Amino acid sequence: MNAAAHVLIVEDEDHLAQGLKFNLEAEGYRASIARDGETALEITSAPDAGIDVILLDVMLPGCDGFSVVEQLRERDDRTPVLMLTARGRSEDVLRGFAAGADDYLPKPFDLSILLARLHGLLRRWAWQKREPGAAMPAEAEASFTFAGRTIDYDNLELRVNGRSIRLTVMEADLLRYLVRHQGRSISRKELLEQVWRMREDTDTRAIDNFIVRLRRYIEIDPANPVFLRTVRGIGYRFDPQSKSAPATEDLHP
Ligand code: CA
């Protein structure tokens, strides 16, 4: 299914960009290169851009990778973004996730790991876009509704009292995992392993940025969450039927 998937490589180091393009094309992908953030934003804004996934280096001349992904999300572009960060800079991972990146890989990386990560993002994205031949995961639910909120996994959309919020693929995947394991305390490590498939030493605070965003979407008061609570010393717990939720808030005429 990845035969025609189009990867945009945003990297200013020419030898690295060309090497990635060569290897991705050898794997059957289409690949384009943008040498700076401004060019990447220009390419992706074209109506017929057709970019399926963005491989985004953090260190770029001018507009850096964080700013690129932030601007993409601001204009409601949900294209999956895999950030390439410098090894040992966990703050970059936290910043990248906060800006709206879906996944990251520290440089230097093994090509096989890059391909596996790309494949994971594309599988989710292709399913959402319903490309012909895209396999629908057998266990997948179409949506989940709780307390007047509907998570529409198919359309990467969250509807809260008539308001529609667009989700990234990883936000939707994280919500799906929380829904499946509702009522149970889940550690940050478990979320990173099960949702992001990360095995290496990742700063588990990386997950917190996603939780903050999800709370902004689903909670009435994100600072005092009732659905997605922090479990001290462990992680998080999702209680869709929370009794603490004000009953009147979701009353519809
Ligand atoms: Ca660079």
Rounded Cα–Cα distance for residues 54 and 97 (Å)? 14
**What's the gap in Å between 89 CA and the centre of ligand 1?**
14
Q: What pLDDT score was predicted for residue 1?
A: 46
**What's the gap in Å between 14 CA and the centre of ligand 1?**
9
Q: What pLDDT score was predicted for residue 34?
A: 98
**What's the gap in Å between 19 CA and the centre of ligand 1?**
14
Per-position pLDDT tens, the chain of length 253:
445 899 999 999 999 999 999 999 999 999 999 999 999 999 999 988 999 999 999 999 999 999 999 999 999 898 999 999 887 777 788 788 889 899 888 899 999 999 998 988 888 776 666 544 445 555 567 899 999 999 998 888 999 988 999 898 889 989 999 999 999 999 998 998 888 877 666 677 778 888 999 999 999 999 999 999 999 999 999 999 887 765 544 444 4
**What's the gap in Å between 56 CA and the centre of ligand 1?**
9
Would you call 110 exposed, middle or buried from its count of C-beta atoms within 10 A (0-12, 13-18, 19+)?
exposed
Q: What pLDDT score was predicted for residue 253?
A: 41
Q: What pLDDT score was predicted for residue 139?
A: 54
**What's the gap in Å between 16 CA and the centre of ligand 1?**
9
Residue 130 tokens read as 């319903």
- Would you list the domain boundaries of the chain? 6-128, 143-238
**What's the gap in Å between 30 CA and the centre of ligand 1?**
21
**What's the gap in Å between 15 CA and the centre of ligand 1?**
11
Torsion angle of C-alpha atoms 81, 82, 86, 89, degrees rounded to 10: 70
**Residue 116 and residue 217 in contact, taking contact as beta carbons nearer than 8 Å:** no
Q: What pLDDT score was predicted for residue 248?
A: 47
CATH architecture of structural domain 143-238? Orthogonal Bundle (1.10)
Rounded Cα–Cα distance for residues 90 and 234 (Å)? 20
Q: Per CATH, is 6-128 categorized as 3.40.50.2300?
A: yes
In the numeric block, the tokens 């050898």 are attached to 26
**Residue 148 and residue 161 in contact, taking contact as beta carbons nearer than 8 Å:** yes
Q: What pLDDT score was predicted for residue 97?
A: 85
Kindly report the pTM of this predicted structure. Answer: 0.77
**What's the gap in Å between 201 CA and the centre of ligand 1?**
23
**What's the gap in Å between 138 CA and the centre of ligand 1?**
39
**What's the gap in Å between 57 CA and the centre of ligand 1?**
6
